[in-house]
Amino acid sequence: MNYQKYLVTGARNPVGRLVVQMLLAEGCQVRVLVPPESDYSLLKGMGAEIAEGEIIDKDSLKDFLTVDDPRNSAVIHTEEILSISNNKNMDMRRMNVAGAQNMIDMAMRMKIGRFIYLGSAYSLDPDTALTGGKVEFDRNKVDGDYAATKAEASAYLMEKITFNKFNASLLLPTFIIGPGFSDDYDMNKILKKYLENKVSTVSGGHAFVDVRNVASALVAVCENGQPGGTYILNGEYKSAQDFFAEVSKQSGSEQVKEMPKWTQSKTMDKFVSTFCRITKKDNPKEVYALFMNNPDVNYESTVDGLMPDSEVRKVHESLVDVLTRPGNEVLPDRIDLEKSAEAAKAIKPEEKVEEVSKVSEAVMKRAEESAAKAALSNEEAEKRAAAAAAARERVQAKIEAAKLKAEQQAEIARAEAKTASLASESKKDEGDSLISKNSIEDIMAQKEAEKKAAKAVAPAPAPAPVQKPAEVTVDDIPEIKPEQIAPAPVAPAPAPAPAPADDGAGKPLWERAGGEEISEEEIFGEDKF
């Protein structure tokens, strides 16, 4: 093997797990990345070093990528989320795009010597890939949200390869099937709908590749691939009818009929969707969308030159394992069984019994060694798990203590702020009251001063001495018409009006005895009303 240490992501999934097993079988040092507090029980006992981190968090990747000799180390990035639905999936986008970009950026920053990316053949622009033209990635020229996310991440990696001389290669397989996947894997859900719910099939087709071939190809590309190389791994193409005929044959179930052609047309999409929603039945076009996306695309493999001795498994072989093995079965057992079976086939009938015995003893010895190694690895894994659990408890305790302290400080701060606010409001009320009181007093004093000043500037003249009027009779009083009577002016404190002169001429009351007219200013001062 070419590298001192291999750093593998996605090891909880079948592809990554198989890559780890193949590398360990060659005696390589392997470190795997797992999310914190996730279930990685299938990785325990394998002998790989386990590092915790999230690919969507760059800082958490430092420990995973920190090695003694980064230039002599390789990253094999297989972590992904796969969905055949055309609906937007933000979790898939975060994992497949942002996560892949984070891993690429951190590998470059940590100066890792080699980077292998697990992409998808369906992220290629079909117009160029099928004609043997230049490989291009354009998310706007592919079908399905999964293919779009892989195209975007692949384009980002190609940019780093071109402009930063990053030593990276891409493996682009068609749809992956085979044993080891969980029940929520898209292919397993398709098989369940077909076998249990008897959902009608659709037209179309797809190219399938076995998970074991994908793992082998990743290792081969890592060791022998060219920097910047993009390698297509194509399996066997099957039409939907041939595929499900094989499923029925292997499972012993009756083959389900295909839905009528006219209901599969795009013009009937709304009608079929409404009918299935009302009747609460599965929509075949949604269940088997895999066969309807790129139904005629059948790429040619370009990875064969890197692994000439490897034979691509047929769909028949993959389906046998899928239908007969539980999804969480540990894959190394199957690999050992296959190797033992191949060794048994290689023995010719005419060979001596001693040779057969030697082969059996070798197989048994290897099995015993593997069991002993697994026991030691399990013990070591348990110790590491216990240490990690203790560390997590200590960190959690510190976090809780910090939270409690922060809450206490916040409570004290709130109390101090409340006290300060009450004191401020009290001072403000006192100030407002004092200001109001002073304002009223000032206004009253100002008014009083204005009155005194007015009296000092224009004092009212002393009234003329009042003469005793002569005795008169009613007949002597002249007749006064209403229009001759002027309204008396209103004054807050008018000076006593002078008595009219008894001259019998009917003069107005505001005239002086001497006949001079008295002005309003002399009577009322300068106050205006």
**The sheet that has 29-34: what strands, in order across it?**
49-52, 29-34, 5-9, 73-77, 114-118, 168-173, 230-233
- Structural domain contains residue 443: no
Residue 484's pLDDT is 55
Supply the range of the domain harboring residue 398: 350-425
Q: What is the pLDDT of residue 15?
A: 95
Q: State residue 327's pLDDT score.
A: 52
DSSP assignment string, 369-417:
HHHHHHHHHHHHHHHHHHHHHHHHHHHHHHHHHHHHHHHHHHHHHHHHH
313 and 384 share a domain?
Answer: no
| 285 in the same domain as 225 | yes
CB atoms near residue 241 (< 10 Å)? 16
Q: Determine the length of the chain.
A: 529
Q: Are 172 and 233 in contact (CB under 8 A)?
A: yes
pLDDT reported for residue 112: 96
**Domain for residue 449, yes or no?**
no
pLDDT at 489: 54
Q: Which two tokens stand for residue 437?
A: 């009181």
Whether 355 and 338 map to the same domain: the answer is no
Check: CB of residue 288 under 8 Å from CB of residue 259.
Answer: no
For position 504, what pLDDT does the model report?
47
**Looking at residue 312, what is its pLDDT?**
84
Q: Is residue 210 part of a domain?
A: yes
Q: Please state the domain count of the chain.
A: 3
Query: Following CA atoms 383, 384, 390, 396 in sequence, which dihedral angle do they give, to the nearest 10 degrees?
Result: -160
Assigned token pair, 35: 């999310």
178 and 274: one domain?
yes
Please indicate, yes or no, whether residues 313 and 355 belong to a single structural domain of this protein: no
Amino acid at 513: A
> 133 and 226 share a domain?
yes
Predicted confidence at residue 298, as pLDDT, reads 83
Give mean pLDDT in consecutive 10-residue pieces for the chain, a chain of 529 residues: 94 93 94 88 86 93 95 96 82 95 96 96 79 76 89 95 94 93 88 91 93 95 93 92 92 90 88 91 90 82 83 88 65 45 50 47 54 58 70 77 82 83 67 55 73 63 52 54 54 53 50 55 54
Query: Burial letters for 406-431: b for 16+ Cβ neighbours within 10 Å, e otherwise?
Result: eeeeeeeeeeeeeeeeeeeeeeeeee
One domain, residues 12 and 138: yes
- pLDDT score for 62: 95
Final residue before a domain boundary, out of 314, 331, 346: 346
Note the pLDDT of residue 352.
42
pTM of the model: 0.63
Whichever domain contains 303, its CATH number is 3.40.50.720
Is residue 337 located within the same domain as residue 393?
no
Check residue 384 and give its pLDDT: 67
Do residues 191 and 311 share a domain? yes
What residues contact residue 97 under an 8 Å CB cut-off, 6+ apart? 149, 152, 153, 156
Q: Do 368 and 244 share a domain, yes or no?
A: no
DSSP string, 464-512: PPPPPPPP--GGGSPP--GGG-PPPPP-SSPPPPPPPP--SS---TTB-
Confidence (pLDDT) at 331: 46
On whether both 15 and 127 belong to a single domain, the answer is yes
